[in-house]
Amino acid sequence: MLRRGLVSLTVFVLTGAICAAQTTGCEVPDSPTAQQKLSCVGAATLMLDQPKLNSTQITNGPGFNPAKPELNQFSSFTADSMLTCYFRPHYAFAKVPGDSMKFQCWHMTPNGGFYNKKGEVIPADDDVKVVIENGKSGDKSASLYPRNDTSNQHELKAEHLKVKYLKPPFPNHNPRFNEVFTSVASARFIWVLGFPADQEYPAGTAACIGCSNDPFGDKLAVNNTSVKDAPVTFKVVNVERELAWDEISNGDDSTWSWNDATKFYSQGWTREQKVQYDAYRLALGLIHYHNALPQQNRVDCAEWLKDGSKSKKTCQSPVIYVHDLGSTFGKKRSGLDIFGTNPRGDFKAWESQTVFVNAGNCELRATLLGDKQVLKEAQDVMIQRVSRLDRDTVKSIFRVARFNMVDQDQVRRLKSKGAQNVDEAALDEWTDVMMKRIDEIRSAKNCKAN
């Protein structure tokens, strides 16, 4: 079971008639089996209390705290942020690294130190080194130590982040790599609606010490540089911070499948869990998430029950969610396009992908392997939640995610039509479609009775 430090950036309370499924939690030994992990899926929640956010908080994202401005440089990023970090080898060791260009790095302070997961500063006066170690399941991972720690006894518990980048470093690129933009928009919408999502931020630049010009493509597996060495700077990036929960993992697998969710929906889940599941599918329909792949999903424990046992623990708040929301704001690739990929951040592709394939019978377009219809209770929950998404809020989220540059075909079309302000015209088009999607949820008919 992989444990992650608890970051007090954004606090979600798993309570309420809908948000807290009435389950008894699940038992998680130190080395859970696949069946024990599956029992946590059966006990899981998919919905959180919807946060009350003002426009400044939505713009700056999770972790922004106006009461503690000294922490905001650590905890949240905007399109003007300049991130400095130290390369952490990771994707060269991954069994399924994916296709998006990305790297991990340890988060550095402007003065050359490091941040820990609480935002506290770890000095790096004597320089650092990267040590590659083998885990219990044989997988390799990189850890950070003082360079003069010859016996590797004092690991520096610095926070590490995930950065996605463009190559070439400007928005004239393969749309496959639009996740730099779509991940930010998707996570921000899902967060505002009160569902779990990793924290995604835009950033202007990422200065990475120890990176090559293309660390993902180069399968970079080492970092022998000094913190005083010159970085490689990436332009137009996004920064991802995982939710501060503990993964529930058998071996190195912390995923869950939509097939298993469908089985629990048919038999095993409570009414509250079924409502959450259908409400979540409606929320994902707004951004047209259609990839029912288990590797995109994660099962976490948000809260442990201290039961005094040495051999196992009880997770009283297991949570399941999609942690990779990059393949959104597009559609499935054509069946004839054998070697292609799903378009992402493609306005024309997304414009036709309504939430419902049959709104008159409340039938979802992207069922995610579940029933076509959703529960009326789930529709009612979502009608209440999407009320937070007025036009100004929707447009501000697209602006934060830089959707004025995500689709270069859209930009060229608007320029050719003589749009006076192409950026605003592009954002308005994305906003117009999202408002139609929200109206679909409000007006769908004949949703399923419980």
- The tens digit of pLDDT for each residue in 228-256 reads 999 999 999 999 999 999 999 988 899 99
* Candidate from 131-140, 193-202, 365-374, 408-417 with smallest mean pLDDT: 131-140
Most distant CA pair in the chain, distance: 69
> Does residue 335 surpass a pLDDT of 70?
no
CA dihedral sign, ordered 432, 437, 443, 445: positive
Give residue for tokens 């623990």: 313
Contact of 75 with 199, CB cutoff 8 Å: no
pLDDT at 336: 60
Q: What does the pLDDT read at residue 66?
A: 83
Which of 407, 403, 400, 401 has the alpha carbon at shortest distance from 428? 403
Cα 422 → chain centroid: 29
For 396-435, how does the pLDDT look when each residue is reduced to its tens digit (9 = 90+)?
A: 999 999 999 999 999 999 999 999 999 999 999 999 999 9
Nearest CA to 412 out of 425, 399, 402, 395 is that of 425
- Alpha-helix runs per DSSP H in 359-448: 376-385, 391-400, 408-416, 422-443
- H-helix or E-strand spanning residue 279: helix 271-286
CA angle 369, 249, 159 (to 5 degrees): 110
CA dihedral sign, ordered 53, 82, 213, 346: positive
pLDDT at 347 over 90: yes
Do 82 and 163 contact (CB within 8 A), yes or no?
no
CB within 8 A of 219, min separation 6: which ones? 91, 92
**Distance from C-alpha of 207 to C-alpha of 212, rounded to nearest angstrom:** 11
pLDDT digits (tens, 9 = 90+) for 86-139: 999 999 998 888 888 999 999 999 889 999 999 999 998 889 999 999 876 678
Q: What integer best gives the mean pLDDT of the chain?
A: 91
CA quadruple 353, 357, 361, 366: dihedral positive or negative?
A: negative
Q: Which H/E stretch holds residue 207? A: strand 199-209
Pair of tokens at residue 297: 């999903």
Pairwise pLDDT comparison (172 vs 427), residue with the higher score: 427
Q: Are 118 and 8 in contact (CB under 8 A)?
A: yes
- For 38, which DSSP code? H
Q: Confirm if 240 and 180 have CB atoms less than 8 A apart.
A: no
Asked if residue 124 lies in contact with residue 177, where contact means CB atoms within 8 angstroms, the answer is: no
* Model confidence pTM above 0.75: yes
User: Residue 208 forms beta bridges with which residues?
Assistant: 85, 232
